[in-house]
Structure 1
Amino acid sequence: TDPVARRLSFAALGVLGPTSGLRAAGSVLFAVAAAAVSAEAVKKAAVARRGASTLRTGAVATAQDGARRTAAPQMTATTSTTVQTEADAAATKIWAEQWWPLGFAAHTSRAAPVAVTLLGAPLVVWWDDSAGAWRCTLDRCSHRLAPLSEGRVTSDGCIECPYHGWAFDGQGQCVRVPQQEEGSAPCRSRRAAVLALPIMEAQGVIWVWGGGLFESAAVTPPEESGPALVDVLERPGVEHSDYSRDLHMDWSTLCENVMDPAHLPFTHHKTISRRSKAAPISFGALENFSHTGFTAVRQTAGGPGRLTFRAPLLVLAETHRGPDSYSDWNVVYAVPTEPGRCRLLVRVVFEVSKLPIPLKWVLSFAFTKQPTWWTHLGTHQILEDDNPFLHAQGHAYRAGHATKLAPDWKRRLYMPTASDGMVVAFRRWLDAYSDGEGALWSRVAPTTETPLRRASKEEVLERYLSHVAHCSACSGALRNIRTTMRLAEGGVVLGLLLAALLRARPAALALAALSFGVARLCAVLDARMRVGRYPPPRNVS
């Protein structure tokens, strides 16, 4: 038996002694024994708490590595933490074993490496001109973890670390260590390699296979796997416009917003809609609800259509304007980058061949002739109509919770109309297939579970880092704008000097005035490339 229990029992017998002296001594002994028992109990409780804490930490780490559990399993000495439950396998299939879009190929620089983040993992993408292919590895040199994206692409298609010049090929193998001594071979060590991910280009999008970012997922994509392509892009007579941006909102907030057509007349009043167009919206019965997503027929004032969620990354909204009219599609890819952040890739698709004139001419020009950077300036404003309040809404949904996206949403959100039908379906999907936590973060993602920081309005409206820096069309245009501005400023000075020194003052002053106007226009465009405007058009009378 427990020795502490024995001490307590003997002390108790002393309390029952025949004389008052013995009973007093017994009481003292009982008190001392009780204190000893209490100390033992405290010590055991502390050990138990530490053990429970270790189990919780282990469970969090396992979830980060690709093993989400909808209910914590009973831990025993023989239970292995590497055994996958059905929920684990489903989560791996949804998040890890997936082709993820990183950017549009036409907007991604082929001259320099590009840093991207996927599911919390820092990646670097570059164009290997020697092989005519895109490459992708973890954005960390195996030497001392410097970001490879700060380096350069060599003539043989390798990426070179900016710190000490180590070079890696498209398979992640270290091919050069400038510091290696003659006769040594540090390159051949497995530790010298960096993680490389399968990468491909399809429908003008750069896709990577995410399996290598998780412990228990397939590193090589199965033959039957393929990216979430959209068949309508292959139709004749169809044109589209592409745009991407890093957003201060969770991928789930972006998906939910696209599934909510009722917000368009109010949020985007004066940009792409009007408040006067507000009307009831209905959805048909939910179809094919599973881990792969769901779909439903949609009826709006613009015409019938369909809304499809292809889990976990694609929301496709299609509208058919009539049997003898055109159709249009909104193709939205929502890519989780880190908690509370995502990358948006959107394609606005129109059946241009069936559009009435002059709308056919206008959209044909916009999709095929208009400069991409100019189109993106207009798209920025549309996104910024709702970016600030969607960021705030995401924080309100979380209510300070570190992992749950919208705890107790059924009680906290009041959604009585049919227009919220797909939002409710999406929330149900999150509960069913992610335990309400959304994206599964990679094994190299930070594991801290602290409440997310609320971004400032200036950060939410920022355009340069969130778009221009990784859009080759816009970054090239910005360089040209700044060059033109410097030349125009020189023209102002030259015109004023000529006006002072020569007799042809009207012509010189005209040059100065024209140059000043060009410089001012360039300054405005430069500012619009860097940050959005506030308040949005809907709030300006």
Structure 2
Amino acid sequence: MANLTMLSTRIPKLKPTTSEKLPFTTKISTFYPFSSNHQYNNVIITHKPNTTNNFTPKSAVSSIEESIGTSNESEDEEGKEKFDWYKQWYPVMPLCDLDKRKPTGKKVIGIDIVVWWDMNKSEWKVFDDMCPHRLAPLSEGRIDQRGRLQCVYHGWCFNGSGQCKLIPQAPPDGPPVHTSKKACVSVYPSTVQNGILWFWANSDPEFKDILQKKKPPFMPALDDPSYSALISSREINYGYEALVENLMDPAHVGYAHYGILTKKTPKNKPVKGVDREGGRPLNLRIQDMDINGFSTIQEWGSGKFFAPCVYYVYPQSSAIDSANDNGNGSGSVSSVDSKAQVSTRKIPILVFICIPVSPGKSRLIWSFPRNFAVWLDKIIPKWVFHLNQNLVLDSDLYLLHVQERNIMEAGPTNWHKVCYVPTKADAILSGYRRWLNKYSNGGVNWGSKFNGGALPPTPLREELLDRYWTHTVNCSSCNAAYKGLNIAEITLQVISFGLIGVLALTKQGTMNTIQRSALFSVAILCFLASKWLSKFIYKNFHFHDYNHALI
């Protein structure tokens, strides 16, 4: 999905060393390294390409399935070590979309939290979104004149440490009931990194200093001033597992996003290759899998999955060589060119941060850092990029929503049984499903929440593909544009009807025929412009349906 206008900037391509063409159309030639404290082992999933003929015998199919982790012998692959979903760092929101004037409510990994700006300590705070008095949501409250978080139900106030500082109903000469531990709000450890607010999903006091022991994955390009790195987010109406799997699947781009991220082929133009969408074999694999995630090797770059949230893809000059070395190359992030060479190359990076919200709901934060055409972001408003990026997300949203339910009916741990994935184009997403099976019984462990992970009912299509509540109201740029365009629409209508009124009230002979015709024409043009603007607003900020059959 890059800028997802850089996915319409499209993932740039390396110069291939084989006769195969890469599936994307702009150039990349190196990478920008990311750092993390995660350690990886040496488990490698590889497969030698079949170059003898186009027919794949049963034995070869079995070999491919084994190489990408779909064979029955590894179907359960349950290890003793299990991933603890509630002892991890999770991103909440980009800072650019948080408002210091008011508290903001979010749900992450099934936990309702409230984010607010503590002006006394000049830092963001993440609390449990529940007042200890009568369990009302604090996210509906306000920040009072003393910089405290106030519950608007009865006026209880809390400082940045979660301590209750005021119970208006308590007599001033009575016992200090506000000092009771029962009057406190649970506080989650939080930190700001790469322009994103993160929180630790466990408020137990033992994790108070967790930041000293474990930090969120660090992405240098997001803080590098020589890179353009716009950050945005959207609520997604399908689950975390489907979201991560989809982002690890480059083979779907030419089909699900045809005409958005790839160029349309005129109907009268002869088709080159197997189809107009440019489908072809892909040589993908994963390596270094452990409980913290794994690395990916692709023909145009490499990637890393830092469990549970971060997946990024970066170009690498050695990526094709390591992809074609039959598993002997490490694909290591350390295999870089000199800084002088790196600085002269166009480097786009894809950063996807996937957040489990609840069963059937997720949140995506994305950024596409690049060290070229940085000036574009200074002259083009952020919301303009979001028009295409949201279209990318919409174009396969319904497919994934239905797919998720089909997989859930079969059982998440049975993914490899019900899904037939015989080619190496599915190696990365198959590896991700193996990781889920091995370390988390096939999916997110919601604990006792959500009736064991049951999915919510499928909403109407307009609600499923809604943009207003999933993006527009949460994005500072799009929200401002939405308000401004609505004002422009009303202004055009007022001008149109105003001019018609002037014409109606003007006495004969005051204006000649040419003047009256000109005013009438301007009135009509303003009215038509307001109608066009109304459709533009609805289509880009509310609901945009997508019909693949008509593309």
Match of 1:340 among 360, 363, 369: 360
Q: Is the 8 A contact 1:463 1:530 kept in 2?
A: yes
Q: Is the 8 A contact 1:96 1:217 kept in 2?
A: no
- Report whether the alignment pairs 1:311 with 2:301: no
Q: Is the 8 A contact 2:293 2:307 kept in 1?
A: yes
**Aligned 1:351-366 pairs, distance under 5 A:** 351-352=371-372, 360=373, 364-365=375-376
Match of 1:81 in 2: none
- Report whether the alignment pairs 1:424 with 2:416: no
Q: CA deviation at 1:98?
A: 1.9
Rate the CA distance shift 1:276–1:282 in 2: closer, same or farther, 3 A.
same
Relative to the length of structure 1, the TM-score reads 0.74
Rate the CA distance shift 1:295–1:265 in 2: closer, same or farther, 3 A.
same
**Aligned 1:10-49 pairs, distance under 5 A:** none
Match of 2:83 in 1: 91
Report the Cα distance in structure 1 between the residues aligned to 2:400 and 2:346, rounded to whole angstroms: 31
Q: Over residues 432-468 of structure 1, what are the superposed CA-to-partner deviations in whole Å (9 max), with x where a residue is unaligned?
A: 11011x223377x445654542233222210111111
Report the Cα distance in structure 2 between the residues aligned to 1:86 and 1:166, rounded to whole angstroms: 46
- Report whether the alignment pairs 1:385 with 2:427: no
Report the Cα distance in structure 2 between the residues aligned to 1:266 and 1:512, rounded to whole angstroms: 44
Q: Any idea what SS the aligned residue of 2:491 has?
A: helix
Q: CA deviation at 1:351?
A: 2.8
- Report whether the alignment pairs 1:262 with 2:251: yes
Match of 2:385 in 1: 375
Q: CA deviation at 1:350?
A: 2.1
Q: Is the 8 A contact 1:398 1:407 kept in 2?
A: no
Q: Is the 8 A contact 2:354 2:365 kept in 1?
A: yes
Match of 2:350 in 1: 330
- Report whether the alignment pairs 1:240 with 2:229: yes
Rate the CA distance shift 1:267–1:321 in 2: closer, same or farther, 3 A.
farther
Q: Is the 8 A contact 2:360 2:455 kept in 1?
A: no
Percent identical among aligned pairs is: 26
Report the Cα distance in structure 2 between the residues aligned to 1:104 and 1:327, rounded to whole angstroms: 23
Q: CA deviation at 1:339?
A: 1.1
Q: Any idea what SS the aligned residue of 1:239 has?
A: coil
Match of 1:433 among 433, 436, 439: 439
Report the Cα distance in structure 1 between the residues aligned to 2:466 and 2:367, rounded to whole angstroms: 21
Match of 2:420 in 1: 414
Match of 1:14 in 2: none
- Report whether the alignment pairs 1:533 with 2:544: yes
Query: Aligned letter for 1:305?
Result: G
- Report whether the alignment pairs 1:105 with 2:95: yes
Higher RCO (C-alpha under 8 Å, 6+ residues apart): 2
Report the Cα distance in structure 2 between the residues aligned to 1:139 and 1:498, rounded to whole angstroms: 55
Q: Any idea what SS the aligned residue of 1:136 has?
A: strand
Report the Cα distance in structure 1 between the residues aligned to 2:239 and 2:348, rounded to whole angstroms: 26
Match of 1:281 in 2: 282
Q: Is the 8 A contact 1:100 1:335 kept in 2?
A: yes
RMSD (CA atoms): 2.6
Q: CA deviation at 1:225?
A: 1.3
Q: Is the 8 A contact 1:384 1:532 kept in 2?
A: no
Match of 2:137 among 137, 147, 150: 147
Q: Any idea what SS the aligned residue of 1:349 has?
A: coil
- Report whether the alignment pairs 1:251 with 2:236: no
Report the Cα distance in structure 2 between the residues aligned to 1:71 and 1:258, rounded to whole angstroms: 24
Q: CA deviation at 1:325?
A: 4.7
Q: Any idea what SS the aligned residue of 1:470 has?
A: coil
Match of 1:296 in 2: 296
Query: Aligned letter for 2:296?
Result: A
Rate the CA distance shift 1:236–1:136 in 2: closer, same or farther, 3 A.
closer
Q: CA deviation at 1:216?
A: 9.9
Q: CA deviation at 1:232?
A: 3.1
Rate the CA distance shift 1:176–1:528 in 2: closer, same or farther, 3 A.
farther
Match of 2:186 in 1: 195
Match of 2:123 among 133, 149, 158: 133
Report the Cα distance in structure 1 between the residues aligned to 2:77 and 2:311, rounded to whole angstroms: 29
Rate the CA distance shift 1:447–1:413 in 2: closer, same or farther, 3 A.
closer
Q: Is the 8 A contact 1:119 1:442 kept in 2?
A: no
Match of 2:484 among 466, 480, 488: 480
Rate the CA distance shift 1:428–1:448 in 2: closer, same or farther, 3 A.
closer
Q: Is the 8 A contact 2:77 2:437 kept in 1?
A: no
Report the Cα distance in structure 2 between the residues aligned to 1:529 and 1:126, rounded to whole angstroms: 29
Match of 1:271 in 2: 260
Report the Cα distance in structure 2 between the residues aligned to 1:511 and 1:129, rounded to whole angstroms: 51
Q: Over residues 175-225 of structure 1, what are the superposed CA-to-partner deviations in whole Å (9 max), with x where a residue is unaligned?
A: 12221123232211111111111222211111111122xx69734414131
Q: CA deviation at 1:297?
A: 1.8
Q: Any idea what SS the aligned residue of 1:328 has?
A: coil
Q: Is the 8 A contact 2:228 2:371 kept in 1?
A: yes
Q: Any idea what SS the aligned residue of 1:466 has?
A: helix
Match of 1:226 in 2: 215
- Bigger Cα displacement from structure 2, 143-152 vs 258-267: 143-152
Match of 1:6 in 2: none
Q: CA deviation at 1:411?
A: 1.7
Match of 2:25 in 1: none
Q: Is the 8 A contact 1:136 1:196 kept in 2?
A: yes
Q: Is the 8 A contact 2:195 2:222 kept in 1?
A: no
Rate the CA distance shift 1:115–1:453 in 2: closer, same or farther, 3 A.
same
Rate the CA distance shift 1:411–1:217 in 2: closer, same or farther, 3 A.
farther
Report the Cα distance in structure 1 between the residues aligned to 2:195 and 2:430, rounded to whole angstroms: 32
Match of 1:179 in 2: 169
Aligned length: 432
| Structure of greater Rg | 1
Rate the CA distance shift 1:277–1:392 in 2: closer, same or farther, 3 A.
same
Q: Is the 8 A contact 1:211 1:220 kept in 2?
A: no
Q: Which runs of 5+ in 1 are unaligned?
A: 1-69, 73-84, 353-359
Match of 1:167 in 2: 157
Report the Cα distance in structure 2 between the residues aligned to 1:448 and 1:424, rounded to whole angstroms: 24
Q: Is the 8 A contact 1:112 1:126 kept in 2?
A: yes
